Structure 1
Amino acid sequence: MVKTNAPSLWGDVIPWPGAQTHKHRRGRLGVVSGGPLRTGAARLSARAGLRTGAGLVRLLCPPDAARVVAGAVEAIMVDAFGTPGELATLTGPMQAVVIGPAAGLDEATVANLTAIADGAAGLVVDADALTLFAGRADALFALLDEHDVITPHEGEFERLFPGLLARGREAAAIEAAGRCGAVVVLKGSRTLIAAPDGRIVVQPEASPWLATAGSGDVLAGMIGGWRAQGMSAFDGSCAAVWMHAEAAARFGPGLIAEDLPEQIPHVLRSLR
């Protein structure tokens, strides 16, 4: 049965900090950046994860991008990596990692995802890290489990699951989650969140102002932020999708992706 996304589904498991909470207890999130001319998407994801509540967020960059990123962030930390093995070492202590937003459409991104998939962190796989597996989706699915999330729009979904959308979006999302063994967030005007066990939630029609570059990168970071704090892949995805839509509705006309993280505190306050 398809349920409608609302705080009543996941509000009771939001991990509000207590008086004794410190930043490491609130969770560590990593976001993998692309090259020096492709850092904006990762920065959007990282800021969204920090605003959502992750206690510590690190941007993980190729060496030539690290100086670009370091001059553009403040509370977010920056680490450079030169090899997939170095990236795996950096992500070892983290509870969640976002990979894909402008990560690069080359085999280096595949190698990086493969390297970090063996770790304990929950993965949020988006954008480039999905597109690269067109025609070889089974290789991606082998890296995933029920603690991970993939966040395709319909074009990316079709590359991973050719022809499946012909069954209808809801049936396709459920089947896709079963095939890949991870939570599927099928983005659109009515975003669907499907779990490998057959659960599915639909987000009521979202604000059209979300049709702007970078809004999906923000959503990936929000999911990562909830995962870092210990919410399950399914509940964290549902919470992030609802908050993302609510943030856009609050801002309204003129919205750009950079505005979304700044609306998150207002949305959180309404839930509190």
Structure 2
Amino acid sequence: MTRNALLSEVRQLIPPLSSELHKGQAGRVGIVGGSADYTGAPYFAAMSSMRLGADMSHNICEPSAGDVIKTYSPDLIVHRILGTDRSLGDIRKDIEGIVDRLHALAVGPGLGRDEHMQACAKVAMQAAIDKQIYLIVDADGLWLLQNEPDVVKGYKRCVLTPNVVEFGRLCQKLGIELKGSESDEKQDEALKLLAQRLSGPTILLKGKIDRITDGRSILYVSEPGGLKRCGGQGDILTGSLSTFLAWASVYQSGVGSDTKAGKRIDEERLPMLAAYGASTIMRTVSNIGFKTHKRALLAHDLLDQVGVAYEKHFGEGSDTHAAL
């Protein structure tokens, strides 16, 4: 399929703005992360999810991180429940109560790698799987999967977002040879094989060209990005992906979906399309931000560009809107 055809499919997932919808029906997402050392990453993920168009974003974090995140923006709902003084059983009960309200859950931004936060991440992933909501695993959530890939094995409503280093670790864990995989063809083979061995999750491999696979086919996103690789851009991608997957859930339920778009999209294609949309948005955000700020670009500069990137690709004046 062409780029425009794919983006037109992605647009079908987006609930139209309507006075008939009430708060939350256009997407409720959760971000599990935010440790004593890292507070920016979960903020960028949560805020970008709302800037793209989700109605509500919940940060699930360690208490001291929550105190800080609360000062960043009053728009975010912050749950400071991942304290080291609490049992995993009590934490799981609280997480399940939050997950019941969500369309999608992202695990990883600002999570850290200490034993307690990694255990909380596992609990959160299991809760999402038990509730059958969309799950995104990024950053230090992927560190957990490097050690315990079976946590998400077989779960089709899951998207992993590794960079090249995280991809290498996952391949090593699952016995996939990467020697000589520098060529695009060899990397594609390794990527598809990783998805096949995980038997369910879609993988969005970040790089010069983003590659997305469910183990059967590969989508490529070569939308121009920026040249400044400041920290936080991956978190904005995670937040954007959370919103697209929340919209995929809304689309499946039929709430607010545009029924004039023709044939319904198969459920199994939704994670691939959501990842394609999120990658396109993030690369465009990076491109616009770099044109404005050059070497001075920081992650917080990019948040204002999320809505601009959305309008470029999916707004009323876009090619995808004209195609409907």
TM-score when scaled to structure 1?
A: 0.89
What's 1:207 paired with?
A: 225
Shift in Å at residue 229 of structure 1? 2.1
How far is 1:223 from its partner?
A: 0.2
Q: Does 1:11 align with 2:29?
A: no
Give yes or no for the alignment of 1:185 onto 2:204: yes
* Structure-2 change in CA distance of 1:137 and 1:17 (3 Å): same
**1:196-235 correspondence to structure 2 within 5 Å:** 196=215, 198-204=216-222, 206-209=224-227, 211-230=229-248, 232-235=270-273
Partner of 1:242: 280
Distance 1:185 1:60 in 2: 24
- Which SS does the other structure have where 1:209 is aligned? coil
Residue of structure 2 equivalent to 1:150: 160
1:124 equivalent in structure 2? 136
Percentage of matched positions with identical amino acids: 25
Rounded Cα–Cα distance in structure 2 between residues aligned with 1:210 and 1:16: 34
- Are 1:268 and 2:310 an aligned pair? yes
Aligned residue for 2:52?
A: 52
1:164-201 alpha-carbon deviations (Å, 9 max, x no partner): 444422122222222222010100111101124x1211
Q: Which residue in 1 is equivalent to 2:191?
A: 173
CA distance in 1, matches of 2:190, 2:2: 16
What is the SS of the residue equivalent to 1:229?
Answer: helix
User: Which residue pairs with 2:117 in the alignment?
Assistant: 109
Do the aligned partners of 2:204 and 2:210 also contact (CA within 8 Å) in 1? yes
Rounded Cα–Cα distance in structure 1 between residues aligned with 2:12 and 2:166 = 32
Distance 1:11 1:239 in 2: 8
**Would you say the 8 A contact 2:28–2:246 is kept in 1?**
yes
| Structure 2: segments with no counterpart, 5+ residues | 83-87, 250-269, 316-324
Q: SS state of the match for residue 145, structure 2?
A: coil
Between Structure 1 and Structure 2, the one with more helix by share is 2
**How many angstroms does 1:22 deviate by?**
2.1
Q: Cα distance, 1:203 vs. partner?
A: 1.0
Letter in 1 for 2:25: R
Rounded Cα–Cα distance in structure 1 between residues aligned with 2:152 and 2:287: 34
Q: Matches of 1:110 and 1:35 in 2, distance apart? A: 11
Q: Which has the larger radius of gyration?
A: 2
Q: Partner amino acid for 2:212? A: I
SS at match of 2:72: coil
Give the secondary-structure state (helix, strand or coil) at the position aligned to 2:131: coil
In angstroms, what is the RMSD of aligned CA positions?
Answer: 2.2
Aligned length: 268
Moved over 3 A (4+): 2-6, 163-167
CA contact (8 A) 2:47 2:76 kept: yes
In structure 1, stretches of 5+ residues that fail to align are none
Q: Distance in 1 between matches of 2:310 and 2:226?
A: 22
SS in 2 for 1:185: strand
CA distance in 2, matches of 1:110, 1:140: 12
Q: CA deviation at 1:205?
A: 5.7
Query: TM-score, normalization: structure 2?
Result: 0.76
